[in-house]
């Protein structure tokens, strides 16, 4: 693939990390052992106290950049890496995920052979804390703004983040990640691309692993994800025609009530008294009845 007519592009991979010493070295090795000839790789650590700094130090001479300092979370860490990126192609790999062998060759080769593609997505294997594969997630969806925001009405949408890569020119044009977001900053960036009419090219290959464990944000803070999705999707829904906007607001309202029900822990009446119209919702009525039965 690395010929004079189709040279492999430079790829920048950024690993944001904070107190992930149990998995960090495996992540670093999965990138460095790719053997990709035109790689820029950096690790941005938010001031870990669990031995991560020592792991980074062991690989410092093989990293193109490394930063160990307090930050405001994963999104800021990724943006620090993106501002240092000199690769034509960029992506990030969290410090509990890994690239599969040969992934960068496939990614670089695709971009080399398809110069008009500016955004690609491959599949991910879902693994447990010890690395056992529990599922495989492939990218899919109707990659239009209504298609994403109205998913659930016969539509699906999934872009597993470790398998997504894009040309650096896109965030040069559209801006870095939104640092006010700590959970769905990737989703918001995908929406930003989709809103401009860009569609990802889906690769029929698995590129990475995505690890689920008790301290991963997906498992530890599901409500955080949901609340950020409500905010982000509500913002993008404003540009939809009124009938579609109302449908999205209905789905987001259901999600919001689900968050309140979860956080109320069976003590829902104070919330209902503040919003008596919620009793028109079967979702709320069922939750109130379940709470009353538990109290009895």
Q: Where are the alpha helices (DSSP H) in the chain?
A: 21-32, 52-58, 74-84, 103-113, 145-149, 168-174, 185-195, 217-220, 222-237, 242-264, 269-274, 282-295
CA gap 124, 121 in Å, rounded: 10
270 by Cβ neighbours in 10 Å (0-12 / 13-18 / 19+) ranks as: exposed
| H or E, element range at 228 | helix 222-237
Going along the chain from its start, the domains and CATH numbers come out as 11-220 (3.90.550.10), 223-295 (no CATH)
| pTM: predicted TM-score of the whole model, two decimal places | 0.91
**Is 294 a residue whose pLDDT tops 70?**
no
| H or E, element range at 217 | helix 217-220
Partners of residue 140 on adjacent β-strands = 158
What is residue 288's three-state secondary structure? Answer: helix
Note the pLDDT of residue 276. 86
The model's pLDDT over 188-225, given as tens digits with 9 standing for 90+, comes to 999 999 999 999 999 999 999 999 977 666 666 788 89
The model's pLDDT over 104-159, given as tens digits with 9 standing for 90+, comes to 999 999 999 999 999 999 999 999 999 999 999 999 999 999 999 998 766 789 99
The model's pLDDT over 251-278, given as tens digits with 9 standing for 90+, comes to 999 999 999 988 888 788 888 888 888 8
Cβ atoms of residues 31 and 59 within 8 Å = no
Percentage of residues of the chain with pLDDT beyond 90:
78
The model's pLDDT over 145-179, given as tens digits with 9 standing for 90+, comes to 999 999 876 678 999 999 999 999 999 999 999 99
Give the range among 11-15, 69-73, 261-265 with minimum mean pLDDT. 261-265
Cβ atoms of residues 213 and 96 within 8 Å = yes
């Amino acid at each position: 693939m690395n010929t004079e007519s189709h040279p492999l592009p430079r790829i920048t991979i950024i690993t944001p990390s904070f107190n992930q010493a149990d998995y960090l070295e495996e992540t670093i090795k999965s990138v460095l052992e790719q053997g990709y000839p035109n790689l820029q790789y950096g690790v941005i650590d938010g001031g870990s106290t669990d031995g991560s700094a020592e792991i980074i130090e062991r690989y410092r001479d093989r990293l193109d950049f490394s930063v160990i300092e307090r930050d405001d979370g994963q999104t800021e860490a990724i943006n620090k890496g993106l501002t240092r990126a000199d690769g034509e192609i960029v992506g990030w790999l969290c410090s509990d995920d890994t690239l599969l062998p040969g992934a960068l060759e496939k990614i670089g080769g695709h971009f080399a052979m398809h110069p008009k593609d500016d955004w690609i997505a491959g599949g991910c294997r879902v693994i447990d804390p010890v690395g056992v594969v529990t599922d495989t997630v492939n990218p899919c969806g109707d990659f239009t703004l209504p298609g994403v925001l109205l998913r659930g009405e016969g539509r699906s949408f999934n872009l597993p983040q470790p398998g997504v890569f894009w040309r650096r020119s896109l965030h040069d044009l559209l801006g870095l990640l939104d640092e006010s977001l700590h959970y769905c900053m990737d989703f918001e960036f995908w929406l930003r691309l989709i809103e401009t009419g860009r569609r990802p090219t889906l690769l029929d290959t698995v590129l990475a692993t995505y690890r689920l464990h008790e301290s991963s944000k997906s498992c530890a803070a599901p409500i955080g994800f949901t609340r950020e999705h409500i905010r982000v999707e509500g913002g993008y829904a404003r540009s939809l025609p009124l009938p579609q906007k109302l449908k999205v607001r209905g789905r987001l309202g259901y999600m919001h009530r689900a968050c309140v029900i979860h956080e109320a822990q069976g003590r829902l009446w104070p919330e209902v008294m503040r919003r008596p119209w919620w009793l028109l919702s079967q979702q709320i009525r069922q939750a109130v009845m379940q709470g009353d039965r538990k109290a009895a």
